[in-house]
Chain A
Amino acid sequence: MNERTKTISKGWTIASYVFLILFTIITILPVVWMIYSSFKPMGEIMLHPLRLPAAPTMENYQKAFKYGNLVTSFLNSVFYAGIATVSTVLLALAAGFSLTKFGYRSSKFYFGGFTLGLLITVNSVITPLFIMETNVGLYNTRLGVILPYIAFGLPMAILLSTSYVRGIPDALIEAAVIDGASYVQIFWKIILIVSTPVIATMSILNFLNNWNEFLMVFTLTSGEDMRSLPVAINSFAGRLNEDYGLQFAALVVGTIPMFILYLVAHESVIKGFGEGALKE
């Protein structure tokens, strides 16, 4: 399967190499440049933009952490993305179980309702959401960020979970019913256990989306202590900031956590995105 097609002409091989190498360089170069530039003092960035740091310094990072409130924002990001992801995954799996294994006719209607959500984007609800949250006191609270995160994660997660749970043999569930287990017990003790692969896919896609989300935190919170990393980085190292070193350091801080996730779990990330979008 992995064998290369041997009859291919040399020309094609060379052309493929050139194209792929060029594309990879264009993709990676700005990122690499960002990382090493963050260790250069301002003057050196101005004078020799492309050179590697002559004497690497942590000064930019010290400043970024001092002025940028990055620790709080980092913790907020972990909190928002973490809680929302766990909730979305559990809710979506429960819904997936109920929609595929109970055989009620209404399932179709509910499922259709959820898939409709795939086409609805954050900016089409942001105005009413802002008004609603202001009126019920959720504006500028962490719950007020997490609830919309959960809601917007659900359509895709339910699509993935239903198609997975549908494939779990009915016999497994029937046997447990005969043994006297309740459906809720079956969910916790069977469905949740055998669905590990789809849980991994849902979690990764969701966590990454939530982690990088900008608009909702930006509009539904106002306090500096409520900001997630992207919002904090934008407000203190945004396009009007002229301290390039500080800005590079802030950008690296915003990037590294997901780089590490990618380094550890790139196979699942790639698989998740590849499969996540296929389901219609």
Chain B
Amino acid sequence: MPRLNKRASYLTLLLPAFIIYMAIIIFPILMSFGLSFTEWRRFQMTGFNGLDNYREILSDPVFRRSLWNNTQIMLISVFGQIPLGIVLAYLLHRKWVKGTKFFEFMIFLPITISSVVIALLWNRVFSPVGIDTTFVRMATGNPDYVVKIFENEQFAMIPILGVLLWQHTSLYMVIFLANLQRIPNSVFEAAVIDGAKESTIIFKIVLPALSSVIFTTSVLAISGSLKSFDLVYAMTGGGPVNYTYVMALYLYQHTFTFHNYGKGSAVSIIIVLLSVGLISLVRGIYGKAQKKFE
């Protein structure tokens, strides 16, 4: 087979994917970077303004609130969804209960529902005709009870955080379950025969075996929580006032409502930098933890 032909085939197979990828993901990222230093008025770029966009964004209380709300989402993802996912996966894996397949099937079902539907459904659950309201009314005997948590500045994020926990925990469960199944069953059996306590099995066998997956899922959770948009947009639209604003919503507002593409791009770049920074941090922590255990 002539060399030239091989090279041509290589490129024929590779380039269509690579070109689409470059044009739609890599090029816009670079363009975003450039745009983030520009000023826009009435759909027109009016020139460069250095770091002004960044300065304005970082000093905007709405952005700061968004950043804090994203942080809360990240915390519930990393310290809520992941541990709960591990617990569920572990319970299913050890098969102490019957019907593990059934539980897995049911718990994973929400993964098929779009965030928009989930958001609107939970709004109904919390609404005056919802499950939550009705239960509380029955339990407290107060027929006029309504959910007010959305209106409270301090607690407005709580329903969103709860729904995120409801929506994504099963994803982590499935990932951890797939990895637990890679641990040979004989390891568990030997430990049980040796009379190892359950806590020993969990801390000495299971968690070390899962450590690299915990790292990967943390990366997944962090980048996922920085991008959250659909659920928040459909559930609260950032309101009341701007109590539930998140960075992606802030970006959306500047690009698509105000048509300030410079500012919108600057928000994108901030999100990218945060994501890269946090992931490097997690990678660092993971590396250190690994060294310690070896």
B21 touches A126 (CB 8 A): no
Known A113-B21, A271-B178, A274-B174: A130·B271 in contact at CB below 8 Å: no
With A91-B17, A121-B271, A258-B112 in contact, do A127 and B261 touch (Cβ < 8 Å)? yes
B62 at the interface (CB under 8 A from A): no
Q: Are A113 and B178 in contact (CB under 8 A)?
A: no
Q: Can you name the residue of chain B whose Cβ is closest to the Cβ of A275?
A: B178
In the complex, what residue of chain A is closest to B276 when comparing beta carbons? A119
With CB as the reference atom, state the residue of chain A lying closest to B132: A30
Given known A-B contacts A23-B88, A183-B6, A230-B114, A125 and B32 have beta carbons under 8 A apart: yes
Complex formed: what's the CA distance from A130 to B32 in Å? 11
Per the bound structure, the CA–CA distance linking A46 and B128 in Å amounts to: 8
Distance of A46 Cα from B230 Cα, bound (Å): 28
Check A125–B255 contact: CB distance below 8 A: no
A128 near B28 (CB under 8 angstroms)?
yes
List B residues 18-67 near A (Cβ within 8 Å): 18, 20-29, 31-32, 35
CB within 8 Å of A: which B158-214 residues? 166, 170-171, 174-175, 177-179, 185, 188-189, 192, 198, 212-213
- How many A-B contacts at CB < 8 Å in the complex? 298
Complex Cα spacing A152 to B29, Å: 13
Decide if A54 is an interface residue (CB 8 Å cutoff).
no
- A8 beta carbon closer than 8 Å to chain B: yes
Q: Is the CB of A130 within 8 A of B256?
A: yes
Q: In the complex, what residues of A have CB within 8 A of residue B23's CB?
A: 151
Contact at A123–B131, with CB atoms within 8 Å?
Answer: no
- CB contact list, A151-185 vs B, under 8 A: 151-152, 154-155, 158, 177, 182-184
Judging by beta carbons under 8 Å apart, are A273 and B171 in contact?
Answer: yes
The smallest beta-carbon distance between A194 and chain B, in angstroms, is: 16
A279 to B44 Cα, complex, angstroms: 44
Whether A92 sits at the interface, judged by CB under 8 Å, is: yes
A110 at the interface (CB under 8 A from B): yes
Main SS class of interface, B? helix
Question: A236 vs B115: C-alpha distance in the bound complex, in angstroms?
Answer: 16
Interface size range of chain B in the complex = 35 or more
Separation of A183 and B12 alpha carbons in the complex (Å): 10
Interface check B141, CB cutoff 8 A = no
Contact A49 B96 (CB under 8 A): no
**Would you call B106 and A28 a contact (CB within 8 A)?**
yes
Query: Is B111 an interface position by the 8 A CB rule?
Result: yes
B236 at the interface (CB under 8 A from A): yes
- Report the nearest B residue to A29, measured CB to CB: B131
- Set of chain B residues within 8 Å of A202, measured between Cβ atoms: none
Give every chain B residue within 8 A of A125 (Cβ-Cβ). Answer: 24-25, 28-29, 32, 268
Q: List 19 A-B contacts (CB under 8 A).
A: A16-B91, A20-B97, A27-B107, A110-B18, A119-B275, A120-B25, A120-B29, A120-B272, A127-B255, A128-B28, A130-B256, A131-B35, A155-B21, A214-B230, A215-B248, A237-B120, A239-B237, A271-B178, A277-B220
Which chain B residues have a beta carbon within 8 Å of chain A's beta carbons? 1, 5-7, 9-14, 16-18, 20-29, 31-32, 35, 87-88, 91-92, 94-97, 103-117, 119-125, 127, 129-131, 133-134, 166, 170-171, 174-175, 177-179, 185, 188-189, 192, 198, 212-213, 216-217, 219-220, 223, 226-227, 229-230, 233-237, 248, 251-252, 255-256, 261, 264-265, 268-269, 271-272, 275-276, 279
The 6 A-B residue pairs whose C-beta atoms are closest, nearest first, are A274-B178, A183-B9, A151-B24, A212-B114, A128-B28, A121-B227
In addition to A50-B134, A239-B237, 5 A-B residue pairs with Cβ atoms within 8 Å of each other are A8-B96, A16-B97, A155-B21, A183-B12, A219-B256
